[in-house]
């Protein structure tokens, strides 16, 4: 199942994650040659030091998990994450502003973060569990317009994670663009991961990466 490893963003984002958990995550990612580790921004420098000269990237979440902080706060968090060595940024959109139909504000929020990334990859988390189909499509369009490299389904902290239905809506939205899709939340085994990959997803966010690539249970972690 080596083909699966490069789809995996090996993830730990829970509030109780310790430095030791991050070190373990990084060791696992290097061992299995996962695409990246995905951590909260306070741990980017630690993860970068642990990954060292290996191929695995370091991804930082921004504005996580609510997306409801000020744009300036997201920008400053992004700047620090990049300074600390992040290769990729997964930012949460402002869901409340989207639902308020303040579409310019949502776009500007994403664009402000994108503008901090000369070379790094930006993934924009829609948190699809809270959105109508129309809002999923609109959020996808705004993220694409703002320069997102990926649109991502979920934080893993909402009421539900990735669904086939939402990924299909996102796939329709990215037609005629270079934007890709990251599915995350509730993807815990090989069969489910392959289902999303076969739909056209280019990245999988999960804390169950080892189980996915080995076919063996890893205790079914939550993300």
Alpha helices in the chain (DSSP H): 2-5, 19-32, 44-51, 71-83, 95-99, 103-114, 133-145, 164-173, 190-199, 209-214
Q: Exactly one of 74, 114, 180, 182 is catalytic; which is it?
A: 182
Query: For residue 120, what are its two tokens?
Result: 């790094």
Query: Catalytic: which of 90, 123, 138, 180?
Result: 90
Are the CB atoms for 187 and 206 separated by under 8 Å?
yes
- Known catalytic membership, residue 191: no
Nearest-CA neighbor of 180 among 205, 206, 155? 205
Residue 90 falls in the annotated catalytic set: yes
SS3 call for 206 = strand
Q: Verify whether residue 21 is a known catalytic residue.
A: no
Phi-psi region of 17 (alpha: psi -120 to 50; beta: other; left: phi over 0): beta
Residues involved in catalysis: 90, 152, 182
């Amino acid at each position: 199942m080596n083909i699966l490893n490069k789809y995996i963003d090996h993830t730990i984002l829970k509030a109780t994650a310790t430095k030791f958990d991050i070190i373990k995550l990084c060791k696992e990612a290097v061992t299995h040659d996962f695409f990246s580790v995905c951590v909260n921004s306070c741990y980017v420098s630690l993860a970068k030091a642990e990954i060292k000269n290996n191929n695995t990237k370091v991804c930082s979440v921004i504005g996580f998990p609510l997306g409801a902080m000020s744009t300036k706060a997201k920008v400053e968090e992004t700047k620090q994450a990049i300074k600390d060595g992040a290769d990729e940024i997964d930012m949460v959109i402002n869901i409340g502003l989207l639902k308020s139909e303040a579409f310019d504000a949502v776009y500007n929020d994403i664009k402000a973060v994108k503008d901090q990334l000369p070379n790094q990859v930006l993934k924009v988390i829609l948190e699809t569990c809270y959105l109508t189909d129309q809002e999923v499509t609109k959020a996808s369009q705004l993220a694409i317009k703002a320069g997102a490299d990926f649109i991502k389904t979920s934080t893993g902290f909402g009421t539900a994670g990735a669904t086939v239905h939402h990924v299909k809506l996102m796939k329709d939205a990215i037609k005629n663009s270079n934007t890709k899709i990251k599915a995350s939340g509730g993807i815990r085994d090989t069969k489910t991961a392959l289902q999303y990959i076969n739909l056209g997803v280019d990245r999988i966010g999960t804390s169950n990466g080892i189980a996915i690539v080995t076919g063996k249970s890893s205790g079914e972690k939550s993300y």
